[in-house]
């Protein structure tokens, strides 16, 4: 289900009152691929509900540059929402998920294997609200940047 931040905060507060463990993660999720799906499945296994925060188009452009995202935010959110392992999706416009996580107060926030705890800028936000950060979930050899590079390479070589 795709919800606004305020709607989602209400839903998650109810879920936590019922004893459900809330897991969050965030990212661009441009060109959804099997690495994303496997990562999200592993994150979901850590709790009862998985919430995915999706960077807005404007925040992606600020972070990744003017050529990204390739897929608009509403479509990225819709694709994530279609995955069985994802319970809720929300779009956030800030460059970091700190404000979102402050509102959602997850039990666990998950970051990929390319992070270490000391590099997770939202760690302090999660921990001050009683949650913990889990890092290290990584699916090798899958990245949107690599896929884009491979498509560019193939088209330069004349593949159709």
148 or 73: which carries more pLDDT confidence?
A: 73
| pTM score | 0.89
Stated as kind and residue range, the H or E segment containing 24 is strand 22-27
Q: Which of 96, 28, 97 is nearest to 56 (CA)?
A: 28
Q: Give the DSSP per-residue string, 69-132.
A: -SS-HHHHHHHHHTSTT--EEEEE-SSSSHHHHHHH--SEEEEETT--GGG-TTHHHHHHTT-E
pLDDT digits (tens, 9 = 90+) for 37-63: 999 999 999 999 999 999 999 999 999
Cα angle vertex 60, ends 83, 157, to 5°?
85
Secondary structure (3-state) at 150: helix
**Which two tokens mark 89?**
């999706």
pLDDT at 13: 97
pLDDT over threshold 80, residue 69: yes
- The residues with which 1 forms a beta bridge, in sequence order, are none
pLDDT digits (tens, 9 = 90+) for 101-143: 999 999 999 998 778 898 999 999 999 999 999 997 666 556 7
Closest CA to 52 of 61, 43, 63, 62: 43
- Please give the helix or strand (H or E) that residue 15 lies within, else none: helix 5-17
The pLDDT of residue 1: 97
Q: What is the pLDDT of residue 151?
A: 74
List the domains of the chain with CATH numbers.
5-156 (3.40.50.620)
Cis peptide before 119 (omega within 30 of 0): no
């Amino acid at each position: 289900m795709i919800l606004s931040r305020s709607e989602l905060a209400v839903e998650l507060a109810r879920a936590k009152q019922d004893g459900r463990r809330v897991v969050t993660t965030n990212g661009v999720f441009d060109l959804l691929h099997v690495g994303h799906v496997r990562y999200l499945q592993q994150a979901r296994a850590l709790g009862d509900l998985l919430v995915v925060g999706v960077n807005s188009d404007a925040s992606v452009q600020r972070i990744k540059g003017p050529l990204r995202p390739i897929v608009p935010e509403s479509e990225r959110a819709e694709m994530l929402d279609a995955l069985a392992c994802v319970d809720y999706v929300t779009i956030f416009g800030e460059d970091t998920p700190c404000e979102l996580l402050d509102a959602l107060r997850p039990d666990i926030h998950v970051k990929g294997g390319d992070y270490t705890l000391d590099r997770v800028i939202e760690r302090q936000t999660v921990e001050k609200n009683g949650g913990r950060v889990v890092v290290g979930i990584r699916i090798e050899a899958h990245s949107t940047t690599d896929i884009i590079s491979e498509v560019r390479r193939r088209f330069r070589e004349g593949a159709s």
